[in-house]
Amino acid sequence: MKSLYLVAAVTAALALAALYFDSQSPVVAAAAATTEAPAYANAAYAPQPGRRPSVQEMTALGRTMFFDPSLSGSGKQSCATCHSPDHAFGPPNDLSVQLGGKDMKIAGTRAVPSLRYGQNVPPFSEHFHDDDGDDSIDAGPTGGRTWDGRADSAHDQARIPLLSVHEMANKDAAEVIAKLKRAPYVGQFKATFGETIFDDTDRAFQAALMALEVFQESPADFYPYTSKYDAYLRKQTTLSTQELRGLELFNDPTKGNCASCHLSEILPNGAFPQFTDNGLIAVGVPRNKKIPANADPRYYDFGLCGPERTDFKDRPEYCGLFKTPTLRNIALRQTFFHNGVFHTLQEVMEFYVQRDTNPEKWYPRNRDGSIRKFDDLLPEHFSNVNMEPPFDRRPGDKPALDDAEIKDVIAFLKTLTDGYKPESKPESK
Ligand code: HEC
Ligand code: HEC
């Protein structure tokens, strides 16, 4: 099923490209051979005139744009400034949130996610039915891009940072296009999308977003599957005894139970695991005082119920829910959870197993000395928070994992970093 999403996502991007530029695109013809035509193929919006770009052309152009700081209001920030290729397209530093805006001084409100392995994230749906197993089970809110799932594709997503005041801070699409027209690669842009592409600002902006999206679907950059764990799944290498112990604890429903959300096993269709089920879940992470927006005691980031997302603002049962991120390349990060409140894997692990046994370690106290557990939520949201293992404990209980077991799980998590070279050269897969 997951690979179907991949086909669907790539097909959707290419089909969109075709609708925009030419309905006879050879790329789409190839994609159409494997799937049915999209529902909107005969929609009222007619194909636009223009050139048919190939995937290779759009990837090359999207790559150039991704690394181009001149596309930002400050002239100093590209997508890669926050999504660093050396950190699996996640943040290059340990700041909880990155700075941006016209003067590069405006702080964001959320940690930068890795852009790797997003290729088969399903579009957001409130009631997700997984076709891997029992179709009748409603897994609840699932999918979409960003921590709250509000963007449906990398294409929709790219418009957010280009225009957000605390990121690349362009006033509107026209400002982005004006910058593209001055870029040294303007010739490449026209060669890709046609000489007349700049005649229509909206069409040019769509083209720019599409190039960024297609680049983010390039396998070698975004889903290489070259970690030690992938080599292990391909039986090209073995894990150390400590890594194997960590994997077992990660999977064990009575210990870490991590794999119940961060899927770790090969799927029935043979697809390799992404270490997320894309579900939106409330974990109840502590409020992060380092985020400037949090200086206002009335400001809360509730994820699925707002404020970034507005379609569920009247659904208190969705407050506190954030998307389960992939754990692939997690060891390359220095900031964790949607608000970047933790900075080491050790802290994250201790939070998971001691949130309920030792809440005083994680949350502040009220005036009367009681602990303000889940201090980044309102009391009416507390029942949204997940209470399954390792969160099934009370103060005084033994944590689900002890110190040695935490070290084992971290050793396992380090096998999820791409770029592993097996010692003895195995046959290719
Ligand atoms: C100032 C830092 C910053 C810059 C610059 C930036 N991003 Fe992001 N990006 C973020 C943050 C923060 C999020 C999470 C936003 C949220 O959850 O609301 C994010 C989320 C994303 C996502 C969704 C990932 C997911 O896991 O769902 C994609 C895709 C993305 N960015 C692509 C881009 C592209 C393409 C550019 C350049 C046009 C870009 N970003 C520029 C900070 C940045
Ligand atoms: C009930 C589902 C669930 C379980 C079980 C679970 N996680 Fe998570 N995990 C999440 C969600 C949701 C987030 C994001 C929460 C947020 O930011 O508010 C997350 C975030 C993380 C992060 C931070 C990732 C990042 O990019 O910032 C790490 C690391 C992590 N989990 C590891 C684990 C480990 C290890 C276990 C087992 C001990 C585990 N998780 C168990 C759902 C789960």
Indicate which atom in ligand 2 lies nearest the CA of residue 389.
Answer: 5
Is 336's C-beta closer than 6 angstroms to any atom of ligand 2? yes
Would you tell me how many other CB atoms lie within 10 Å of the CB of residue 13? 23
Matching residue, tokens 């939106």: 280
> What is residue 133's predicted lDDT score, i.e. its pLDDT?
56
Q: Are 115 and 86 in contact, with CB atoms under 8 Å apart?
A: no
Pocket test for ligand 1, best of 64, 83, 114, 215 (most atoms within 8 A of CB): 83
Is 258's C-beta closer than 6 angstroms to any atom of ligand 2? yes
3-state secondary structure of 177: helix
Nearest to 107 by CA among 343, 306, 291: 291
Ligand 1 center from residue 301 Cα (angstroms): 17
Supply the DSSP string of 179-192, one letter for each residue: HHHHSTTHHHHHHH
Q: Whose CA is closest to atom 40 on ligand 2?
A: 258
CA distance 148 to 151: 8
> What is residue 422's predicted lDDT score, i.e. its pLDDT?
76
CA distance 323 to 344: 20
Is 257's C-beta closer than 6 angstroms to any atom of ligand 2? yes
Ligand 1 center from residue 379 Cα (angstroms): 30
Q: Are 320 and 108 in contact, with CB atoms under 8 Å apart?
A: no
Q: Are 71 and 208 in contact, with CB atoms under 8 Å apart?
A: no
CA distance 71 to 169: 9
Pocket test for ligand 1, best of 167, 310, 335 (most atoms within 8 A of CB): 167
Mean pLDDT by 10 residues, the chain (429 residues): 42 44 38 41 46 93 98 95 98 97 94 95 88 72 96 82 91 96 97 95 95 95 97 97 98 98 95 97 98 97 96 97 98 98 98 98 96 98 98 96 98 98 60
Q: Are 308 and 146 in contact, with CB atoms under 8 Å apart?
A: yes
Nearest to 149 by CA among 274, 307, 304: 304
**Both structure tokens of 351:** 């939070």
3-state secondary structure of 76: coil
Which ligand does the CA of 324 lie closest to? 2
CATH class of 228-416: mainly alpha
Is 319's C-beta closer than 6 angstroms to any atom of ligand 2? no
Ligand 1 center from residue 385 Cα (angstroms): 26
Q: Do domains 2-124+153-221 and 228-416 have the same CATH topology?
A: yes
CA distance 335 to 96: 6
pTM comes to 0.90
Q: Going along 88-247, which residue ranges are E strands?
A: 99-100, 106-107
CATH superfamily, region 2-124+153-221: Cytochrome c-like domain (1.10.760.10)
Nearest to 83 by CA among 73, 98, 72: 98
Q: Are 227 and 417 in contact, with CB atoms under 8 Å apart?
A: yes
Nearest to 388 by CA among 265, 248, 256, 287: 256
Around ligand 1, the residues with Cβ closer than 6 Å are 77, 79, 81-83, 98, 100, 108, 110, 112-113, 115, 118, 145-147, 154, 157-158, 161-162, 167-168, 212, 308
Ligand 2 center from residue 11 Cα (angstroms): 30
> What is residue 157's predicted lDDT score, i.e. its pLDDT?
82
**Both structure tokens of 265:** 């096993």
Which ligand does the CA of 288 lie closest to? 2
> What is residue 132's predicted lDDT score, i.e. its pLDDT?
58
Output the CA angle 417-421-425, nearest 5 degrees. 150
Pocket test for ligand 2, best of 96, 324, 374 (most atoms within 8 A of CB): 324
Indicate which atom in ligand 1 lies nearest the CA of residue 99.
Answer: 1
3-state secondary structure of 362: coil
CA distance 79 to 177: 16
Is 261's C-beta closer than 6 angstroms to any atom of ligand 2? yes
Is 330's C-beta closer than 6 angstroms to any atom of ligand 2? yes
DSSP 183: S
Pocket test for ligand 2, best of 114, 274, 352 (most atoms within 8 A of CB): 352
Paired with 303 in beta bridges are 321
Residues 6+ apart with CB under 8 A from 235: none
Which ligand does the CA of 302 lie closest to? 2
> What is residue 286's predicted lDDT score, i.e. its pLDDT?
98
Q: Are 127 and 143 in contact, with CB atoms under 8 Å apart?
A: no
Nearest to 221 by CA among 352, 86, 349: 86
Q: Whose CA is closest to atom 6 on ligand 2?
A: 258
Indicate which atom in ligand 1 lies nearest the CA of residue 109.
Answer: 12
Which ligand does the CA of 334 lie closest to? 2
> What is residue 298's predicted lDDT score, i.e. its pLDDT?
96
Residues 6+ apart with CB under 8 A from 415: 227, 228, 229, 232, 239, 243
Matching residue, tokens 């076709």: 131
**Both structure tokens of 226:** 């070259």
Residues 6+ apart with CB under 8 A from 139: 128, 129, 130, 277, 279
Ligand 1 center from residue 111 Cα (angstroms): 9
Indicate which atom in ligand 1 lies nearest the CA of residue 81.
Answer: 5
**Both structure tokens of 107:** 């702080």
Which ligand does the CA of 211 lie closest to? 1
Residue type at 333 in one-letter notation: R
Q: Are 108 and 308 in contact, with CB atoms under 8 Å apart?
A: no
Domain ranges of the chain: 2-124+153-221, 228-416
